[in-house]
Amino acid sequence: MVKVDTPARFSTLVNEFKKTHQTVQSNCFFLPSEVTEMTNKQKLCVEQQKDGLIFFVEEDACSRLYYFLDEKAKPVMPAWNKPVLLDYVFRGEENTALEAAGCAKWQTIGFTPYKRYNRMECTRESFSPPAHYREKQSDFQITDLEPKDFKEVSKLWKSSLDVYSTFLPDESEYTEACEKGEIIGVRLEDGTPGAVNRAIKKGRLSFLQHLAVSPKLRGRGMGKALFSATVDFVLDRHQAERVNFWVDEENTRAVEMYKKAGFANDGMISRQYILEV
């Protein structure tokens, strides 16, 4: 297992593998910007096998696995010391997509079903939260958070989100996000963050992630207030035309909140499997 040090190295590995294998199965959906970020942060590793390329992205709590595998090959799992997450992102019929990617092969070596996420989206025109979502904003101090808040925000995320399927920024990434104005939260009377959300500008689209409310503060409308304030924020400051995010389909309370505000599934699905070690 070696580090992939540049995006060019990643592209060379993938292109050479595809040239020598006629039918390739893969779960890899990296955007060029994502490869650049991962290699810059030295988070991307690769193991070259006879009939496969096995990539690992190292996170704090687990590693993410992405592969290019000859259709006739059986996966060989390298020795690893933390849980491994396998993610398939697709549109259309799930069984067909998973079969095409060779998912069943990985289940034979111990990967088991974990989470299923749907991507929800709305347009500027379709965002219409119930009046009380915005009315609740006056009850809380909603503001940009700062680099100094990292420890408290990190605790908040870890207490509210699944650390295997939700990949949290480290301190340097968080600081950079603050400098871009991406981290929005609710400050409590003592100044500490009680809720947080992140809004990432991607052209005319804004992508939201990591909405979290302190478990001891739930039930007060803080989540609805921060959510609607964040969408208002990206429609105004980002001049976004569309807003989307991933949501765990089992989080029915959140799904219902988003639907009431005009969001709907856009057809993209993330199906995750995990290998415990």
Q: Where are the beta strands (DSSP E) in 50-173?
A: 52-58, 63-70, 84-90, 112-123, 141-144
Q: Hey, what are 106's tokens?
A: 């990985």
Per-residue pLDDT of the chain (277 residues; tens, 9 = 90+): 899 999 999 999 999 999 999 899 999 989 999 999 999 999 999 999 999 999 999 998 999 999 999 999 999 888 888 999 999 999 999 999 999 999 999 999 999 999 999 999 999 999 999 999 999 999 999 999 999 999 999 999 999 999 899 889 999 999 999 999 999 999 999 999 999 999 999 999 999 999 999 999 999 999 999 999 999 999 998 999 999 999 999 999 999 999 999 999 999 999 999 999 8
From CA 217, how far away is CA 195, in angstroms rounded? Answer: 9
| pLDDT score for 1 | 87
| pLDDT score for 80 | 83
| pLDDT score for 81 | 86
Query: What is the number of alpha carbons within 13 Å of residue 170 lying toward its C-beta?
Result: 8
| pLDDT score for 277 | 80
Question: For residue 33, how many other CB atoms are within 10 A of its CB?
Answer: 10
| pLDDT score for 245 | 97
Which alpha helices (DSSP H) does the chain contain, by range? 7-20, 32-40, 94-101, 103-107, 131-135, 150-160, 171-179, 222-236, 252-260
From CA 126, how far away is CA 242, in angstroms rounded? Answer: 9
Does domain 122-269 bear CATH number 3.40.50.300?
no
| pLDDT score for 197 | 97
